[in-house]
Chain A
């Protein structure tokens, strides 16, 4: 008979707390009415809840990390990734606070759904069981489908939501099908149990097929090529605040899940999934770099940019070593802050109150808004991977791990693609600094965007100073994932 101890629940305390806040917010939102004021109140409470959750996560004990009979694992890897996800979502919610924003996003349900999605992301990061994995993925995806379609009077937003939903459902189906095959062979849904069941045994083809299906399903979630088709349309069609959220948080959770699945459950057959991940990585790097060149809308461009980023992160994942995991973690750290900072600026791209998201709308930004232009310059340099910014360190450690693991061609392709990718980042800088405009963007800069932009800039500029500490934290987390996991 299975009996519950308090120790079985304590590691999941942050998630339980956050879910509790979400349940309270359901009532607050229901009784507060549909006014912008009520929406702001919900958002504020949600942000406060995230901050407390952050404190709970940081104070968690990474040694006593197993909960719910091994389905849930809050090890130091999970703590690291959860901090990233929490910070990213906090920034995205904060930027929705301004009063004159989108009336559709000013619904109280927005923050509520984002909060529930955040719980889902945290469960994904901690999932240590095939069933827990699926539950986390669904809890994360469903609210995001809804917020993508939140602008109900816009055809594009509805289309984005529907597309996201259909492809997400397809990917869930692939994930489940793969999981059923894996379970069928291993006889257990526990990651550690799967690892035990497959070690030192000749794997039937069915198991490999199941594994590939699972990785493909998760590749949808991280929008790795060739499963990236939804990304540009969803990024472009969704309200920009939602796009900012998509660009910052969910992919961190999906990458964490991919890491835990491939290193935790399938650790002993690394040579089998390595090929899949290398293919995904190369595809994403190429599609991301070449696809972005032709884009005219900055949200679409950011979609391709994020595909490319996922390609680089997957290169570290494919290395299959501790250094690879560390590289991915450093990469995702930079990715969150680059995404937050860049979208803090993209959200300001308005002309006479209407969104102006064409890349050419940035023309002459250095004359009309010199500080914003400088901020975007730093972000673009960082995304292009120019030292000593955050993006450079991410790429450096990822490619280093790939080379050390003997994947030199992969690293070479990555470097070539990041050079090609630098073209479109630099094009934005050229537009801002060497073109002129006669219709400047609106000059109102809400406080939240200033804070997010300032904080992201500080992290990206000072990344080199903190890299030693970050590396140590990521390294111990990676060891916890691989060796102890």
Chain B
């Protein structure tokens, strides 16, 4: 009874949030609604006993992907009003694609193409522990190779985007700490009555490095 209640709560909020992602005017709100939808989907996963996927959804999608979306939405100067101008025009296409997806889901549920597949038996241990049991033993090889692939992604992203540009003021903390008083402060004995211009020298702090 309680379970059913929560199911309908999560499902309803998720559907509402999903709808708001599409219709809300402010793209930042869209991303926030997307996060809400993710959280409720995670709740649904917990209800069916897939707590690991629920955690993944929160950690990966909410923690990384949605935040990335937020960054992109806020940092890129995109005219969203212009982008959604064709909303009504594209509605039929969206409906057709959605309809096909629904049809395929139904066909996969009631079709018999995959009846020959052997489903792994449900075991007593929780699925997080079950994953951990095989991930570092049976699938150790794949796990390690996945690590190498991620390393490649990191090296590749850095080597493609990082370059030394001139004219960029970057903070070098070591240099800041190494700075001594003598380098930056110059005591000038200003005679009484002399104008500032006659004693002005180049301040040491602004010297070219």
- Residues on A facing B (Cβ under 8 Å): 1-4, 12, 19, 22-23, 26, 34, 67-69, 71-72, 107, 109, 112-113, 116, 119, 123, 131-132, 135-136, 138-139, 142-143, 145-146, 149-150, 152, 161, 183-187, 197, 204, 206
Contact = CB atoms under 8 A, between A and B. Distances in A.
A220 B73 CA distance: 34
The 5 closest A-B pairs by CB, nearest first: A146-B156, A68-B141, A109-B159, A135-B145, A187-B118
Interface residues of B, number: 27
A2 B134 contact: yes
Contact of A146 (B116, B159, B163): B159
Interface of B: 113-114, 116-118, 133-134, 137-142, 145-146, 148-149, 151-153, 155-156, 158-160, 163-164
Contacts of A161: 160
A14 B118 CA distance: 35
A185 B152 contact: no
B113 A72 contact: no
A280 B76 CA distance: 43
Given A4-B137, A69-B138, A143 B156 contact: yes
B152 A143 contact: yes
A459 to B, nearest CB: 31
A291 B164 CA distance: 41
Nearest to A158: B160
**Interface residue SS majority, chain A:** helix
Contacts of A184: 113-114, 117
Contacts of B153: 142
A19 B152 contact: no
B117 A185 contact: yes
A131 B149 CA distance: 14
Contacts of B151: 23, 26, 116
A67 B156 CA distance: 29
Contacts of B152: 113, 116, 139, 142-143, 146
- The residue in A67, A142, A149 that gathers the most chain B C-beta atoms within 10 A of its C-beta is A142
B67 to A, nearest CB: 23
Given A1-B137, A113-B155, A135-B149, 18 more contacts: A2-B137, A19-B148, A23-B151, A69-B138, A113-B156, A123-B145, A135-B142, A135-B145, A139-B149, A145-B156, A146-B159, A146-B160, A149-B160, A152-B160, A184-B114, A185-B116, A186-B117, A206-B113
A152 B117 contact: no
B159 A107 contact: yes
B156 A187 contact: no
Given A113-B155, A139-B145, A146-B156, A4 B113 contact: no
A69 B148 CA distance: 20
Contacts of B141: 12, 67-69, 71-72, 132
A287 B158 CA distance: 37
Nearest to B153: A142
Contacts of B164: 34
A187 B116 contact: yes
B72 to A, nearest CB: 18
A142 B138 contact: no
Contacts of B148: 19, 22, 116, 119, 139
Contacts of A67: 141
Contacts of B142: 71, 131-132, 135
Contacts of B114: 184-185, 206
